[in-house]
């Protein structure tokens, strides 16, 4: 059918569509609605990127007991504009030994997954750009294209440090993809559908948000998504003190600006996924009759984006081996146990037809399990971290081989 016709808060647009549909064919309305929706999503993402630049610097400044940028406009509000102008007027360099054809590809390639993720969100009860049946898996699939783009960026720079930074990021990205997929499986099991609009409908139906039923999924997803986004505490790729500037060392001007903007847009997309899957999307326990649902959804997105900024402002950066150990030894077992627990709960709830109060029991059980597993795996993997490697021990027991007893005959 034509899923884009029912933009119910946007009555002038709906009347315009009906007018076009009456005068021309239905396919024209479909294409037109597709274009209008795409323009809407791209403008939301672009304006979001601009706003996020200001939000991040200002809020992180406040967390570090200093004011953020406050010179460029009132409260520094024109700072993103100044940043954009600065990046546009910079000279766009291309190293001579770099791969000519491949150098310009990554800034474009890394933009595509960010945009595609926004297209499956449910902004209001009938306001989905593409209500895919496999929405959650689609988001995961397109986010794995990001690591490819980063590799091409690192490779085509013809720069050892860029390649090294790109390799580290890809190793981290593919390690954290597994807990990401496994953690998002539990809400899908509960809701019975992979489409984001369906999961939001499920949360409206049972009148409880999945964050209370599946806190472990939320925890694992939040950590894995932070690592996928290359944000602190997992931003070894762009750790300026460590590896020059990682994979975007050789990119200058607006190409670098595009990488930076895509990181911000991806943060918005991840916040959108958390808001849709775990916190009810556009619903607010009935308040969506009075407040426009898309406004509630955007509010939730920015609420969780504030959480991401908070993480960035307070936590130090983790080492790459710490990150890898965390992903493989802690998040994956936790995610697997989470799936087993979620499947058991759905079995008890749906097949045996117990009442809805059993969901409260599930919530308590899940929180207890999360704390227990976190403690258990934490002890398991940090047992060897505080022991120094068995290499050079300068102070303690260096067993110096004892010198042979001096030969009485050879002494002078």
Task: Map residues 4-43 to x or -, x wherever contact with another protein holds by CB under 8 A.
Answer: -----------------------x----------------
Q: For the chain, give the number of residues.
A: 412
Name the minimum Å distance from CB 152 to another protein.
7
Among 29, 33, 127, 163, binds another protein (CB under 8 A): 163
Closest to 358 measured CA to CA, from 350, 277, 37, 269:
350
Count of other CB atoms within 10 angstroms of residue 206: 14
Would you say 55 or 199 has its CB closer to another protein? 199
Asked if 2 is part of the footprint of another protein (rule: CB under 8 A), the reply reads no
What sections of 24-144 are H helices per DSSP? 26-63, 79-88, 100-103, 105-109, 111-118, 135-143
Interface with another protein, residue 142, by CB under 8 A: yes
Stretch near another protein under the rule CB under 8 A, chosen from 11-19, 170-178, 215-223, 325-333: 170-178
Instruction: Please enumerate in sequence order all residues whose Cβ is within 8 A of that of 192, keeping only pairs 6 or more positions apart, or say none.
Output: 198, 202
Query: What residues between 184 and 243 interact with another protein by CB under 8 A?
Result: 193-194
> In the structure encoding, which two tokens stand for residue 149, read together?
């783009």
Quick one: which of 17, 123, 129, 155 contacts another protein (CB under 8 A)?
Answer: 155
**Beta pairing partners, 113:** none
User: Quick count: other Cβ atoms within 10 Å of Cβ 24?
Assistant: 11
Residue whose CB is less far from another protein, 81 or 148: 148
Nearest approach in angstroms of CB 262 to another protein is 17
Stretch that binds another protein, among 167-175, 201-209, 297-305, 322-330 (CB under 8 A): 167-175
Q: Measured from the CB atom, is 158 or 382 closer to another protein?
A: 158
Rounded least distance, CB 307 to another protein, Å: 27
Nearer to another protein, 133 or 314 (CB): 133
242, with CB counted inside 10 A (0-12, 13-18, 19+), is middle
Kindly list the distances between the CA atom of residue 305 and the CA atoms of 272, 284, 392, in Å, as whole numbers in the listed order: 9, 18, 45
Cβ contact 268:48 at 8 Å: yes
User: Rounded to the nearest whole angstrom, what is the least distance from the CB of residue 138 to another protein in the complex?
Assistant: 5
Decide: helix, strand or coil at residue 128: strand
Backbone angles phi, psi at 122, to 5 degrees: -105, 105
- Residue 25: CA atoms inside 13 Å, Cβ hemisphere, count? 3
How far is the C-alpha of 331 from the C-alpha of 224, rounded, in Å? 8
- Cβ nearer to another protein, comparing 94 with 193: 193
Q: Residue 11 Cβ, how far from another protein at the closest point, in Å? A: 28
What is the C-alpha separation between 278 and 251, in angstroms, rounded?
Answer: 37
- Give dist(CA 17, CA 43) in Å, integer: 20
How far apart are alpha carbons 332 and 175 in whole angstroms?
10
Considering the complex, what minimum distance in angstroms separates the CB of residue 141 from another protein?
4
Q: Over the Cα atoms of the chain, what is R_g?
A: 26
- Contact with another protein (CB under 8 A) among 99, 126, 131, 201: 99
Q: Cα-Cα-Cα-Cα dihedral of 137, 142, 147, 153, to 10°? A: 180
Nearest approach, Cβ of residue 294 and another protein (Å) = 26
Question: Which of 51, 134, 243, 343 is close enough to bind another protein by CB under 8 A?
Answer: 134
Check binding of 177 to another protein (CB under 8 A): yes
* Between 170 and 323, CB nearer to another protein: 170
Strands (DSSP E) found in 149-297: none
The residue (of 50 and 132) whose beta carbon lies closer to another protein is 132
Report the nearest approach of another protein to the CB of residue 229 (Å).
Answer: 16
Q: Contact positions toward another protein, by CB under 8 A? A: 27, 99, 101-102, 132-134, 137-138, 140-142, 144-145, 147-148, 151-152, 155, 163, 167, 170, 174, 177, 193-194
């Amino acid at each position: 059918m034509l899923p884009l016709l029912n933009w119910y808060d946007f009555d002038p647009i709906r009347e315009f569509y009906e007018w076009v549909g009456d005068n021309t064919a239905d396919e024209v309305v479909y294409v037109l609605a597709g274009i209008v929706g795409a323009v809407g999503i791209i403008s939301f993402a672009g304006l979001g990127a601009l706003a996020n630049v200001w939000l991040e610097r200002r809020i992180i400044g406040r967390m570090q007991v200093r004011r953020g940028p406050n010179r460029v406009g009132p409260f520094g509000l024109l700072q993103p504009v100044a940043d954009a102008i600065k990046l546009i007027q910079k000279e766009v360099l291309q190293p001579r030994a770099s791969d000519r054809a491949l150098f310009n590809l990554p800034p474009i390639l890394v933009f595509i997954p960010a945009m595609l993720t926004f297209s499956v969100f449910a902004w209001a009860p009938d306001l989905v750009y593409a209500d895919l049946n496999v929405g959650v898996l689609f988001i995961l699939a397109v986010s794995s294209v990001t690591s490819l783009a980063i590799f091409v960026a690192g490779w085509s720079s013809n720069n050892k440090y860029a390649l090294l930074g790109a390799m580290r990021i890809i190793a981290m990205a593919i390690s954290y993809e597994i807990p990401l997929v496994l953690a998002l499986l539990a809400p899908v099991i509960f809701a019975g559908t992979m489409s984001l609009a369906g999961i939001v409908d499920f949360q409206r139906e049972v009148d409880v948000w999945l964050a209370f039923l599946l806190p472990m999924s939320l925890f694992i997803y939040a950590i894995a998504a932070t690592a996928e986004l290359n944000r602190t505490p997992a931003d070894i790729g762009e750790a300026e003190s460590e590896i020059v500037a990682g994979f975007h060392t050789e990119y200058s001007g607006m190409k670098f600006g595009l990488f930076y903007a895509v990181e911000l847009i991806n943060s918005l997309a991840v916040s959108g996924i958390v808001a849709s899957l775990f916190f009810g999307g556009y619903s607010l326990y009935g308040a969506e009759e009075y407040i426009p649902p898309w406004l509630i959804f955007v509010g939730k997105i920015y609420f969780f984006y504030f959480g991401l900024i908070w993480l960035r402002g307070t936590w130090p950066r983790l080492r790459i081996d710490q990150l890898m150990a965390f992903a493989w030894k802690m998040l994956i077992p936790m995610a697997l146990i989470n799936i087993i627990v979620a499947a058991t709960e759905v079995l008890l709830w749906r097949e045996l037809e117990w009442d809805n109060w059993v969901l409260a029991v599930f919530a308590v059980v899940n929180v207890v399990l999360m704390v227990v597993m976190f403690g258990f795996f934490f002890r398991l993997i940090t047992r060897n971290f505080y022991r120094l490697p068995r290499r050079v021990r300068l102070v303690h027991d260096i067993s110096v081989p004892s010198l042979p007893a001096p030969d009485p005959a050879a002494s002078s």
